[in-house]
Structure 1
Amino acid sequence: MNNKKPFIAATLMFSCLWGMPAFAADAGAGEQKSAVCAGCHGQGGKSSNPQWPSLAKQQPAYIVNQLEAFKSETRKNPMMQGMAANLSREDMDNLAAYYSAQPAAKAGGNQELAKEGEKKSAICMGCHGQKGAGNGQFPRLAGQHPDYLIAQLKNFKSGERKSGPMQAVAGNLSEEDMKALAAFFGSQ
């Protein structure tokens, strides 16, 4: 007798379990942990200061990746390095679950510039998703403060912030392009 059903069932079960995280992220625990983040990133991750990004509706994988980069000091920011230093992976997952479940922020932007930025935005959509809503490991740009987005583009262009693809893209943008793209994404 050659009965393959038990083998197939076991293989499917193992495949499903293998792809599951060791624990489920706890958005409630993330909300509690976020109290210390609110000073800069705002209540519910909606920053009112263009110096700091909004985390509301941000991609969970991106949040975790950035926290890990700050913790390992591969992304430089003394304040964030200090904040991430004592976070466990579970803390990071919980924060990501909390922030990604929050309603999106909308910073706004100069509408004339936004129209110009929309025309240029196709260069960003492949990674950052439709209208900059984010895509897995690529961050949500929609609703971010235009000044924050401009600063990050300048940091990529100068090499202060590292990412091969973003350095290449930003390296080909003029300051006017950056302002137009930032206005477009800020108004989404």
Structure 2
Amino acid sequence: MFSLKHPLSACLVLAYSYAVPALAADAAAGAEKAAMCVGCHGPNGKSSNAQWPNLAAQQPAYLAAQLKAFKSGSRANPMMQSMAANLNDQDIDNVAAYFASQPAAKAGGDAALAKTGEGKAGMCLGCHGGQAQGNGQMPRLAGQHPGYLVTQLKNFKEGTRQSGQMQGMAGSLSEDDMKALAAYFGSL
């Protein structure tokens, strides 16, 4: 009789679970679904409007988590909630893989502010990666629109966007600090 109490059975179950391939994300299928994103996020995820973030080269785990949060309503944005509502989990993984595979965008930023922001960026790089490239669930900040980043930092500070760690970090920033950090990350 099969029992997980038996050590050999447990080992076989574990070995089998690691041997069964998970459905891999398909960037080409993601490109098809991502066509609906171009209006705001731009071709290949490079937005020309600071109101909407660049998605190019963003961390796939972060993109997938955000799409799922929009779909569930735990992250509020009526437009994104309606867009994500039409995606199943495989679609979400595929869209995330597509945008992650695109070359990074560079939004630019005020050079003087960027220099000031560079000195303050250390507080962000521990989570967001040494070059602000992102790290798994932590988003890429490099090349992001400075205006978008300032808006998000304000949202975290005000509590309209939830994340305990980010709310704490943003809460310690002045508006000038936010602008300097955003200019620095946009310049990368």
Same fold (TM over 0.5): yes
Structure 1 distance, partners of 2:121, 2:61, is 23
Provide the alpha-carbon RMSD of the alignment. 1.7
Report matched runs for 1:50-89 at 5 Å.
Answer: 50-89=50-89
Structure 2 distance, partners of 1:69, 1:119, is 33
CA offsets 1:123-179 (integer angstroms, 9 cap, x no match): 001110012110000000000000000000000000000000000000000001000
* Structure 1 segments unaligned to the other structure (5+ residues): 1-5
Determine the structure 2 residue equivalent to 1:177: 177
**Residue 99, structure 1, aligned to residue 99, structure 2:** yes
CA contact (8 A) 1:157 1:171 kept: yes
Q: Give the TM-score normalised by the residue count of structure 2.
A: 0.91
Amino acid at match of 1:66: Q
Structure 1 distance, partners of 2:104, 2:15, is 36
* Structure 2 segments unaligned to the other structure (5+ residues): 1-7
CA offsets 1:10-43 (integer angstroms, 9 cap, x no match): 688436336x5x2011100000111100000000
Number of aligned residue pairs: give it: 180
Amino acid at match of 2:60: P
Identity of aligned residues (%): 63
**What SS does the aligned partner of 2:177 have?**
helix
Structure 2 distance, partners of 1:65, 1:15, is 23
Determine the structure 2 residue equivalent to 1:133: 133
Q: Give the TM-score normalised by the residue count of structure 1.
A: 0.91
CA contact (8 A) 1:30 1:97 kept: yes
1:86: how far off?
Answer: 1.5
Determine the structure 1 residue equivalent to 2:18: 16
How has the CA–CA distance of structure 1 residues 11 and 78 changed in structure 2, closer, same or farther, with 3 Å as cutoff? Answer: closer
CA contact (8 A) 1:131 1:185 kept: no
Determine the structure 2 residue equivalent to 1:156: 156
Determine the structure 2 residue equivalent to 1:49: 49
Structure 1 distance, partners of 2:180, 2:131, is 14
Moved over 4 A (4+): 9-13
CA contact (8 A) 1:41 1:55 kept: yes
CA contact (8 A) 1:109 1:183 kept: yes
Structure 1 distance, partners of 2:130, 2:105, is 16
Amino acid at match of 2:19: L
